[in-house]
Amino acid sequence: MDNNSLADRVLEGDVRATARLIRLIDDGDRAARPELAKLYKHAGRAHIVGFTGSPGVGKSTLVDKITTKFREHGQKVGILAVDPTSPFSGGAILGDRIRMQKHFVDEGVFIRSMATRGKFGGLTGSTSDAAVVLDAMGKDIIILETVGVGQDEVDVAHSAHTTVLVTIPGMGDDIQAIKAGLMEIGDLFVVNKADREGTAKTVRELKFMIHMSSERYQASGWVPPVMETMALEERGIDELYTAIMDHRAHLMNNAPDEWRSRERRRLRNQVLDQLRDGVMERIIEKIGGFEALDDLIDQIIDKKKDPYGVNMELLQNIFGGNSL
Amino acid sequence: MDNNSLADRVLEGDVRATARLIRLIDDGDRAARPELAKLYKHAGRAHIVGFTGSPGVGKSTLVDKITTKFREHGQKVGILAVDPTSPFSGGAILGDRIRMQKHFVDEGVFIRSMATRGKFGGLTGSTSDAAVVLDAMGKDIIILETVGVGQDEVDVAHSAHTTVLVTIPGMGDDIQAIKAGLMEIGDLFVVNKADREGTAKTVRELKFMIHMSSERYQASGWVPPVMETMALEERGIDELYTAIMDHRAHLMNNAPDEWRSRERRRLRNQVLDQLRDGVMERIIEKIGGFEALDDLIDQIIDKKKDPYGVNMELLQNIFGGNSL
């Protein structure tokens, strides 16, 4: 291990080295890999919390306020924003970003946004890698903020230890989306902007959905609480903090199997995601780069080839034999 | 070509064979591939229209009404819904689904939902394949309905000839999302529920954003119109129909380069997506299935290995040499 490696500097808590390594990860640069291999054995201490929900539900404000709460309890926080509407990732209006500034000047908080993925996918992989870096750097809590609608974003939220699903009153379609697939990933449900009309109804609907799945929750021993917050007014934040810590204690003390199956799922996603990226990179190299690919594509457009024949050709080229 | 192949029956317009083949595609079944290879040369006639936007903006109602309009003009329509909140994909409340029933009994309309993807991704690939089937089956218009927030869903919308971005008044965060990356994929912008307060402001903001990118649009010769609709009340639907047809005529008559570059992008996504799936399938086979993968994962959890070392091992196994 050379003395000035990025990994060594990250382990010493060097902010610039950390930022540089996360940037390499986000760019899909291979130079990040040996550093990550070094850091990996130092990671595993941080608690990863995913915040996910539709645009407009106030995820970023919640993340802002809960970060303040973590800091009050002496916990160091890393925030990875993969939400194009988040002020953390530079997408929001000026006022939102100004509100975040207090965290930007706090050395106990590290904030970075992740791009919406590279050439071959890999949002889950790169976010997991960045979390490893922040973990090894000494952060106690790592927050992943994602827009919870696309599959990629759900996967990211799914790779957290504690996943917080955020909605607001009256978002009927949001509830539909939760029903349709997000339900099972939530460990905590938050109804934000809880001074709005319809709060009681939304809370009731969520509780009913949880009740309907009670068998599954009984098995894990954790029934997701439904919480009301008014993030802007800092109401419900203490309760949210307590619930996150409760869930963490539950995973660590009462549910070692649950914890292991989450780790397994998280790592499986990470390994597959990175393998996919690595394989695709090599395949493109092997066929002669993206220009060569575009030549094949042009032949498809001109109906000289079809996509399925091209796919078979490429697979045979890599694996040999009849790969149809 | 055997006489009773699924492909042959699809070419004859057989609805059950079409449903069966799309099911195979959605399941990632290899049996679909030779059928697709046969169908591909018969495809290329349909116009593919993507509808994308956040949950709650009324995409499905718009798709419902515009489908009626296409039918009035004698066009056969295929609808592929990859939106978990869409009544077409079974996610919405009963009333929505009842409204759709008239299309379900119309032989000129074929509706299927696509699952949120298989083991290795592939939403773009499987949706493109399903579009090839509907195209070869004789549909004139193929509508892809997606939730426009996740990258996968954006990729699907991006694979259309004409992409319609749907929003509603007052969704400031939605506008932020559009700014942050969706802007460039829209050919038509629709502000639905245009009787709501804030419509004029939203229209103005969208027009301003388009104006700011006017250089790009001048190059392509198409400036995206911003349209107001009230889908439930069937207002603005004629104008939307005309705008879609105008964009189609523009692509076909005035912008052959633009058309080719869209086809290239669409096919590149499709080929890469399918290649990725095919490669990952073979890799998992080669290492001994998902159980063997989980053994590796357990070794990572127990810190006997790290994800980066495992990745390298797997890549070396496939490609040989030093693959770090």
Mean pLDDT of B150-161: 69
Cα distance between residue B276 and residue A283, in whole Å: 10
Q: Read off the pLDDT band of B95 (50, 70, 90).
A: low
Asked if residue A247 lies in contact with residue B252, where contact means CB atoms within 8 angstroms, the answer is: no
pLDDT value for A119: 44
A213-225 pLDDT tens trace: 777 677 778 899 9
Asked if B303 has any chain A CB less than 8 Å from its own CB, the reply is yes
Tell me the Ramachandran region of residue B303: left when phi exceeds 0, alpha when psi lies from -120 to 50, beta otherwise: left
Closest CA to A171 of B201, B168, B81: B168
Contact flag A41-B278 (C-beta cutoff 8 Å): no
- Comparing alpha-carbon positions, the chain A residue that sits nearest to B264 is A297
Asked if A292 has any chain B CB less than 8 Å from its own CB, the reply is no
Asked if A264 has any chain B CB less than 8 Å from its own CB, the reply is yes
B161 compared with A159, residue with greater pLDDT? B161
B182-225 pLDDT tens trace: 667 789 999 999 999 889 998 998 898 888 777 767 777 889 99
Mean pLDDT of A251-272: 81
CB atoms under 10 Å from CB of B32, counted, come to 25
Mean pLDDT of A147-167: 74
Mean pLDDT of A160-183: 72
Asked if residue A49 lies in contact with residue A160, where contact means CB atoms within 8 angstroms, the answer is: yes
Contact flag B151-A147 (C-beta cutoff 8 Å): no
- Closest partner residue to A264 among B294, B303, B312, by Cβ? B294
Which residue has 């930022």 as its token pair?
A: A19
B173 compared with A71, residue with greater pLDDT? A71
Closest CA to A279 of B317, B69, B43: B317
Asked if B302 has any chain A CB less than 8 Å from its own CB, the reply is no
Asked if residue B52 lies in contact with residue B147, where contact means CB atoms within 8 angstroms, the answer is: yes
Asked if residue B107 lies in contact with residue B19, where contact means CB atoms within 8 angstroms, the answer is: no
pLDDT value for A324: 42
B13-72 pLDDT tens trace: 999 999 999 989 888 788 998 899 899 889 989 999 999 887 778 888 999 999 999 999
- Closest partner residue to B278 among A173, A297, A315, by Cβ? A315
What is the pLDDT of chain A when averaged over all its residues? 82
Among A149, A193, A262, A280, which would you mutate to test the B interface (most chain B Cβ atoms within 10 Å of its Cβ)?
Answer: A149
Q: Is B275 helix (H, G, I), strand (E, B) or coil?
A: helix
Low-confidence winner among A60-64, B83-87, B203-207 (lowest mean pLDDT): B83-87
Which residue has 């009309």 as its token pair?
A: A197
Contact flag A318-B315 (C-beta cutoff 8 Å): no
B114 compared with A163, residue with greater pLDDT? A163
Distance from CA of A105 to the nearest CA of B (A): 25
Contact flag B176-A91 (C-beta cutoff 8 Å): yes
Where does chain B have alpha helices with state H?
6-11, 15-26, 32-40, 59-72, 94-104, 123-137, 151-158, 172-177, 199-212, 214-220, 237-249, 256-287, 289-301, 307-319
Mean pLDDT of B271-293: 83
- Comparing alpha-carbon positions, the chain A residue that sits nearest to B154 is A150
Distance from CA of B213 to the nearest CA of A (A): 18
**For residue A6, is pLDDT > 90?**
yes
Query: Which stretch, A111-120, A236-245, B171-180, has highest mean pLDDT?
Result: A236-245
Q: Read off the pLDDT band of A248 (50, 70, 90).
A: very high
Asked if residue B167 lies in contact with residue B175, where contact means CB atoms within 8 angstroms, the answer is: yes
pLDDT value for A113: 80
Closest CA to B144 of B106, B181, B105, B111: B111
- Closest partner residue to A324 among B34, B117, B260, by Cβ? B34
Contact flag B171-A93 (C-beta cutoff 8 Å): no
pLDDT value for B99: 61
Asked if residue A75 lies in contact with residue A81, where contact means CB atoms within 8 angstroms, the answer is: no
pLDDT value for A10: 95
Q: Read off the pLDDT band of B114 (50, 70, 90).
A: confident
Low-confidence winner among A82-86, A313-317, B257-261 (lowest mean pLDDT): A82-86
Asked if A31 has any chain B CB less than 8 Å from its own CB, the reply is no
Q: Of all residues in chain B, what percent carry a pLDDT higher than 70?
A: 79
Cα distance between residue B159 and residue B124, in whole Å: 8
Q: Which of residues 204-233 of B touch A (CB under 8 A)?
A: none
A40-59 pLDDT tens trace: 889 989 999 999 887 778 88
pLDDT value for A162: 92
B85 compared with B76, residue with greater pLDDT? B76
Contact flag B307-A93 (C-beta cutoff 8 Å): no
Residue B160 tokens, joined: 């259309």
Distance from CA of A255 to the nearest CA of B (A): 16
pLDDT value for A147: 72
Residues of B in contact with A308 (CB under 8 A): 33-34, 36-37, 40, 274
Mean pLDDT of A138-153: 79
Q: Read off the pLDDT band of B1 (50, 70, 90).
A: very low
Exposed e or buried b per residue across A258-286, where buried means at least 16 C-beta atoms within 10 angstroms of its C-beta: ebeebbbebbbbbbbbbbbbbbbbbbbee
Asked if B115 has any chain A CB less than 8 Å from its own CB, the reply is no
Q: Which helix (H) or strand (E) holds B189?
A: strand B188-191
Q: Could you tell me which residues come within 8 angstroms of residue A16 by beta carbon, excluding any fewer than 6 positions away?
A: A9
ipTM summary value: 0.72
pLDDT value for A173: 56
Return the CA Rg of chain A.
22
Q: Is A117 helix (H, G, I), strand (E, B) or coil?
A: coil
Low-confidence winner among A101-115, B118-132, B254-268 (lowest mean pLDDT): B118-132
Distance from CA of B227 to the nearest CA of A (A): 22
Contact flag A85-B180 (C-beta cutoff 8 Å): yes
Asked if residue B151 lies in contact with residue B125, where contact means CB atoms within 8 angstroms, the answer is: no
Mean pLDDT of A243-270: 85
Residue B94 tokens, joined: 């009963």
- Closest partner residue to B181 among A84, A276, A324, by Cβ? A84
Contact flag B282-A310 (C-beta cutoff 8 Å): no
pLDDT value for B238: 97
